[in-house]
Structure 1
Amino acid sequence: MSTHAAARGRAASLAHVVLAYVVAFGLAAAWLAWGPSTGRLWLDGLVADVIATLVVFAFSQLYRNSSFYDPYWSVLPPLLALYWWSQATPDVNQVRSWLVIGVITVWAVRLTGNWVYTWSGLHHEDWRYGMLRENRSKPQAFLVDLFGIHLVPTFSVFLGMVPVYIAVTRPGRPVGWLDVVAVVVGLGAVGLELAADIQMHRFARTRVPGQVLDTGLWGWSRHPNYFGEITFWFALAIFGLATSPSDWWWIFGGAVAMLVLFLAASIPMMEKRSLERRPTYQDVIDRVPMLVPRPPRR
């Protein structure tokens, strides 16, 4: 296929994904505007979230490609935060709300942009989805697709957004040093992810089969992008803590759930695949820490 034809096919694929999200968020917005209220703002947001997820799932089934869901992870949070903020009482802390939504927007633009840059089109599906459905009957594969690939990540992201709900809907304490920490940690996490992505993209242009990236950030952590992603969700939890310190005992629940999701699912799958495809990856495991960056062992 020529470069021009490939570009046309990729543009057409992206148009199909955009259509899916217009329909998904359009129906979710219609429910919020005209559907029955639950009487709880956070629950209204969750129901709309699930509606949008089910629409994206329907498109995934229609096109037999669950990568329709990939950008949902980063597209939903700023929209959900803006909805909650728009419905909040006037006495909510506006400065903190701007800070929270600003950090989320920067994160969302980077992550969505990286997906657009790396996704080649509807002929490509994330390899992890095939691994999850492998050796399962059609009914089992359907349930894995619905829950494991779509709904579980949706609920995980929503749980991670609970501190944002607190920050943009409650007056809370005045903006202080914890908010500054949250901004620094959040933007630092996005910067780390961006640097890791750039290094990986440059490496991917020239690598040979079996070669492993173990320089730059990837020489300090085997998954620096995941470390940045986990750190971002902890930054959102810090915003919630800054708003309501008395809720410290549960406010980090969403960030911890994200940590567990990466440690129990994403990272083991990546490690297994790398060991199968890259003969020298065990050497990298022996030298480079899995997640938290530090200088590699000799």
Structure 2
Amino acid sequence: MALPVIRNMADCTDFYKTVQPYVPQLYDLPQQIFDNITNLQALKVLYVSTNPLISAFAISLFLAPIFLIVSEVNKNYSQVDRCWSLLPTLYNAHYTLYAHAAGQPARRLDTLLMFSCAWSARLTYNYWRKGGYSIGSEDYRWDVLREKINPPLFFVFNVVFISLAQSILLFLITIPTYILLLAAKGKSFQTADVVFSRTLGALVFLTFYADGQQWTYQGAKKEYQKTAKVPQGFHQEDLDRGFNTTGLFAYSRHPNFAAEQCVWVVLYGWSCWVTQTYYNWSAIGPIAYLTLFQASTWFTELISAKKYPEYEEYQRRVGKFLPKLPGGPPGDFSDKRGSQPASAK
């Protein structure tokens, strides 16, 4: 059987019942796919007869060498970044498709997939308009690292972290979806599921709203640098500063990052509620994701602090992800302004 026998909700979170017995499938899967590559019906049977967690992990391993080869050929090391907005939703869609194919209840997964698609649409939109400030758009990080690391070591870094670890990470954050799949027959869709799904929707909206504020600011700054004229609704001091400290960015240096991380923490919390557990092994996904954001944000701010003279003051006054309490909007630097917005002049 591709899915474990679940006798109670706690079984859904038992690694030794839900994962370990299916690990051998990972070793046999490549050969089975190769043997049936021209037989569509056989591939459908193989899909349903393979544990969905194992097949999802196999996809992440398959993509890693592709990311590596493409990045080394064109010397652009942001190949995983380009797929950042798509792969988690791909994995969620995979679990949802499997639930339907295997005859499992799928209402919870259908609902999750809807908000996962909204999350992907938001990140993809930001990427293509070149205004996204998610982790996946910071191509300059790798350029800075290449200047600090000699080529052989950077190649190893590309193999181990950029191409492999990040690909696996985007699989790991969706592991709670596998647990929701396993728990589908044991716990029907309830009011709490609506709360969790609506919370995901609110977080996606928050990330989109914060990205919009950042995009508007960066657009105004670019126009100001090009024309030397302050766009309507902006202060010259804000544009000269070089980074946004208004709106949500007056309370958090990275409100979009904060909401981004919360999306996957809430998904994990959803899996805990459904399985009636306080914690489960799928926490490895959100923990790894939060760790990456901490490291990436630290590195990004290190670059920003060298680039913008006032950034260290901004760091002192405004929380990285969560607002510093007590206080009002500490990041607006209102005490340093000596002019009115351009619209008021």
What range describes the TM-score normalised by the shorter chain of this pair?
0.7 to 0.9
Name 2:122's counterpart in structure 1: 110
Greater helix proportion: 1
Q: Residues 222-266 of structure 1: CA distance to partner in whole angstroms, max 9, x if unpaired?
A: 011110110111122133224322373334332122112111x11
Matched, 1:225 2:237: no
Name 1:47's counterpart in structure 2: 58
Q: How does 1:200-215 map to 2 (within 5 A)?
A: 200-207=214-221, 208=239, 210-215=241-246
Q: Which moved more, 1:236-245 or 1:157-166?
A: 236-245
**AA paired with 1:140?**
L
Q: Residues 159-187 of structure 1: CA distance to partner in whole angstroms, max 9, x if unpaired?
A: 11100112235424112243223212211
Q: How does 1:230-249 map to 2 (within 5 A)?
A: 230-246=261-277, 248-249=279-280
Matched length: 266
Q: How does 1:1-298 map to 2 (within 5 A)?
A: 34=37, 39-88=50-99, 90=102, 92-118=104-130, 126-171=139-184, 172-207=186-221, 208=239, 210-246=241-277, 248-263=279-294, 265-293=295-323, 295-297=328-330
**Residue 70 of structure 1: SS of its match in structure 2?**
helix
Structure 1 CA distance, aligned partners of 2:61 and 2:131? 24
**AA paired with 2:202?**
G
**Root-mean-square deviation (Å):** 2.8
Structure 2 CA distance, aligned partners of 1:204 and 1:225? 15
Q: Which has the larger radius of gyration?
A: 2
**Residue 252 of structure 2: SS of its match in structure 1?**
coil
Q: Contact 1:32 / 1:48 at 8 angstroms: preserved in 2?
A: no
Which consecutive unaligned segments of at least 5 residues does structure 1 have?
1-26
Structure 2 CA distance, aligned partners of 1:229 and 1:114? 14
Structure 2 CA distance, aligned partners of 1:149 and 1:165? 25
Q: Contact 2:254 / 2:321 at 8 angstroms: preserved in 1?
A: yes
Between the two proteins, what is the percent identity of the paired residues?
Answer: 25
Which consecutive unaligned segments of at least 5 residues does structure 2 have?
1-29, 38-42, 222-238, 332-345
Q: Residues 37-85 of structure 1: CA distance to partner in whole angstroms, max 9, x if unpaired?
A: 8953312211112212321321121111112321212211222222223
Taking structure 2 as the reference length, the TM-score comes to 0.69
Structure 1 CA distance, aligned partners of 2:210 and 2:88? 22
**Residue 154 of structure 2: SS of its match in structure 1?**
helix
Structure 1 CA distance, aligned partners of 2:150 and 2:199? 44
Q: Which moved more, 1:91-100 or 1:111-120?
A: 111-120
Structure 2 CA distance, aligned partners of 1:203 and 1:106? 23
Structure 2 CA distance, aligned partners of 1:101 and 1:173? 18
Structure 2 CA distance, aligned partners of 1:176 and 1:261? 33
- The alpha-carbon distance between structure 1 residues 281 and 249, as it changes in their structure 2 partners (threshold 3 A), is same
